Amino acid sequence: MIRERRTPPEELGPMLQAARDRAGLPQSAVATAAGVRRAYVTKLEGSARCPSLAVAQALCAVLALDGDEEALLLSCAVDDAGHSHPAHAAIGSARDHELSADIRITPQTDD
């Protein structure tokens, strides 16, 4: 079965970038906290990708999204790909949880 790539709403990227700017975090810190690469955060902020449900939930927490922002992000999240793919979840959920618990984020202004 071939999965079709989903296209996020155009307003997703600017909303994520505004939330990151409001939090004072560089893309690299957001990426580390969400367990993804910085390039992936760039794609999300460019409205080029839909995040997995697991990454979307991590971004909600890291960026302290308000209710409307969280609803927008979660509405386009996918539960059958990336970090939410059943195979990934079975293998790495405990390890990912341990890693995310150790991450401390300090706001920066140079990004």
Is position 6 within any domain?
A: no
Residue 52's CATH number:
1.10.260.40
Residue-range definition of the domain harbouring residue 84 = 12-101
Check whether 56 has a pLDDT greater than 90.
yes
Average pLDDT of the chain, as a whole number: 81
Q: Give the integer Cα–Cα distance in Å for 36 and 40.
A: 7
Is position 58 within any domain?
A: yes
Is position 111 within any domain?
A: no
CB 105 within 8 A of CB 62: yes
Q: How many domains does the chain have?
A: 1
- pTM here is 0.71
- DSSP 3-state assignment of 91? helix
Q: Poorest-confidence range of 17-21, 26-30, 98-102?
A: 98-102
CB 72 within 8 A of CB 56: no
